[in-house]
Amino acid sequence: MKTILITGAAGDVGSHLRRELAGKYNLLLSDIKPIKALAAGEKSAPGDVAKISDMLRVTKDVDAIVHLGGFSVEGPWEMILRANIIGCYNLFEAARRNGVKRVLFASSNHATGFYQREEKIDHRVYPKPDSRYGVSKAFGEQIGSLYADKYGMEVFCMRIGNVAVAPPDKRRLSNWISPRDFARLVCVGIDNPNISFEIVYGVSDNKRSWYDNSNAHRLGYQPQDDAERYAAEVLAKEKPGDPRAEMYQGGNFVFAEIGGDPSRIPPKVGKARKSRKAPKPKKAPKPKKKK
Ligand code: 15L
């Protein structure tokens, strides 16, 4: 049985994955937080992704790594830098030095969050991050690309939507992934023998999807769930959202930093921008009379 290291194993996504992968692989669980209640087939390997010595220790003797570790939403640059930029570099570098070829990287829909909801995007679009967090995910994909091309590592980047038992809101009807579909995708990333560098979307088979996930399907992903079965219930509870968030796939992440300044609303949302008065030109100072 393969031994799989999961970083960030104490988080929400890690906890779903532990449950879904039980019995399929030996799981080595790493996190900066303590891992509670180890099940059969699980071992704990505590570690901080920002410390290369920790990553060198936990990546020894594993067949593949599922790298979930890091900061999982928008946050201050210092935190993103430490956990997601330095942490991601450390993970890939430690894997390389320990001869671990296969890394599954938990990228995010926020690496492409500035694509509009009316667009359908596939794995070939260039990143359009909606936040520092999104930038860190695009960075992780690029480190993966470098390590695949330069060192022959096998890297599977999953632009994950929202892993949850049920989609919590309208936006997630388009990017939701059930825990069991997520586990299916992870198994493809671990077991498909022909991976060099791939980008896939971590979403279920959602009717309202913004993604053409044909690359994942080509590699063997067969999602079984569709957020649509929750749509009536979700939409009945939905309150009207901010027009900026409604326009972009990344939702609230797209304006997290512009702090509600109406002059920064993207032009297509329109009215507020059109009605914005151009600043009056400053009057030129009157020339001083010569005495
Ligand atoms: C993510 O990347 C986050 O990790 C998660 O907490 C959700 O916010 C998700 O995206 C989402 O877009 O719903």
- Between the CA of 204 and the centroid of ligand 1 the distance, in Å, is 14
pTM for this model (two decimals): 0.89
Residue nearest atom 9 of ligand 1, based on CA coordinates: 162
105-143 b/e with 16+ CB inside 10 Å = b? bbbbbbbbbbbebeeebebeeebbbbbbbbbbbbbbbeb
What atom of ligand 1 comes closest to residue 251's alpha carbon?
12
Residue 282 banded pLDDT, cuts 50, 70, 90: low
Question: Could you tell me which residue, 241 or 136, shows the higher pLDDT?
Answer: 136
Q: What is the mean pLDDT of residues 66-89?
A: 96
Where do the H-state alpha helices sit in 128-242? Answer: 132-151, 172-175, 179-191, 214-218, 231-237
Among 158, 160, 201, 210, the mutation site with the greatest number of ligand 1 atoms within 8 A of its Cβ is 160
pLDDT at 85 over 90: yes
When mean pLDDT is compared over 33-42, 106-115, 240-249, 275-284, the highest value belongs to 106-115
Please give the pLDDT value at position 211.
98
Tokens representing residue 29 in the block? 């669980």
Residue nearest atom 2 of ligand 1, based on CA coordinates: 108
Residue nearest atom 4 of ligand 1, based on CA coordinates: 72
What atom of ligand 1 comes closest to residue 250's alpha carbon?
12
Which residues form the catalytic set? 133
